[in-house]
Amino acid sequence: MDVRILVADDEESILDLLSRFLEKIGYIADIATDVASAISLMQTHQYDVILTDKNMPDVDGRMEGGMTLVKYVKEHMPSAEVIMITGYATIETAVEAMRMGAFDYIMKPIPLNELKAKIERILDYRKFINSGDTLQIYRALHNQALTLLENRDDLPEEQLGKILRTLGGKIDHLFGLQKEYETIIQTQSEALERIETFAQHLKEALPADSPYVSAVEQIEEESRKRI
């Protein structure tokens, strides 16, 4: 299934760069130069990811239109995830975006490989058994970690930047372990389904008065309960 991404930014150079990059790596990219056109596109298309600049005019002329879009997405397109684009590399900005409901954030000038990784993270997390819960837990963990760093004026900016760069990776590692566990569970479930099917076929092939029918029925029942 094609992945569709909306890029909202009032800088045409950013729109051109990101749309060409996203299409190059296999995604469908739509662009919007302001909040109104972004909302119009969301009313006619379903998006997997929204990339929005934090500081662009909204419909009322306020300069934090990205926050308006985050709120709109959460209310009208909850299945989409928002990555906030900001030119201000501060903890406060990141925390604000996450509290509003953004999945992640990225700083200008935008490192394209990092953006690619963030989009892939969203798509990977959607493959979890309880993907909604997984995405919600990711946001909560990320938000709480950022909040702890918010008032750390004692840390040099370079050290804070290093912590921010490694934060997503550490959370990814945690969920990577969960994914390994889910893979085991899924494999076990598929094996049990096959056992149940084979037991059904075997029961049909056995004579009704066979002494083995009850044993096969028990195998079938136990497999069904464990799936």
pLDDT the model gives residue 168: 66
* Any domain includes 141: no
Q: What is the CATH number of the domain that holds 26?
A: 3.40.50.2300
* Any domain includes 118: yes
pLDDT the model gives residue 90: 62
d(Cα 93, Cα 99) in Å, to the nearest integer?
10
Q: In what order do the strands lie in the sheet with 28-32?
A: 28-32, 4-8, 49-53, 81-86, 104-107
Q: pLDDT of the chain along its 227 residues, tens only? A: 699 999 999 999 999 999 999 999 999 999 999 999 999 999 999 999 999 998 887 777 677 788 889 989 989 998 899 999 887 656 677 777 777 788 888 888 899 998 998 899 899 888 877 787 877 777 777 777 777 777 677 777 677 667 766 776 777 777 777 778 777 777 878 888 888 888 888 888 888 888 878 888 888 887 777 66
95 and 175, same domain (yes or no): no
117 and 178, same domain (yes or no): no
Which domain covers residue 28, as residue numbers?
A: 4-130
pLDDT the model gives residue 223: 76
pLDDT the model gives residue 225: 74
* Any domain includes 143: no
11 and 93, same domain (yes or no): yes
DSSP letter string over 9-77? -S-HHHHHHHHHHHHHTT-EEEEESSHHHHHHHHTTS--SEEEEESSS--TTS-S-HHHHHHHHHHHH-
pTM of the model: 0.70
CB atoms closer than 10 angstroms to residue 221: 12
8 and 104, same domain (yes or no): yes
* Any domain includes 162: yes
Please provide residue 220's backbone torsions phi and psi, each rounded to the nearest 5 degrees.
-60, -45
User: Cα–Cα distances in Å, from 99 out to 2, 36, 74, 77?
Assistant: 29, 23, 12, 17
Q: Which conformational region is residue 54 in: left (phi greater than 0), alpha (psi within -120 to 50 degrees), or beta?
A: alpha
* Any domain includes 77: yes
Number of domains making up the chain: 2
For residues 99, 67, 6, 106, the Cα torsion angle rounded to the nearest 10 degrees is -60
* Any domain includes 137: no
126 and 213, same domain (yes or no): no
pLDDT the model gives residue 160: 67
* Any domain includes 81: yes
Residues in the chain: 227
pLDDT the model gives residue 227: 61
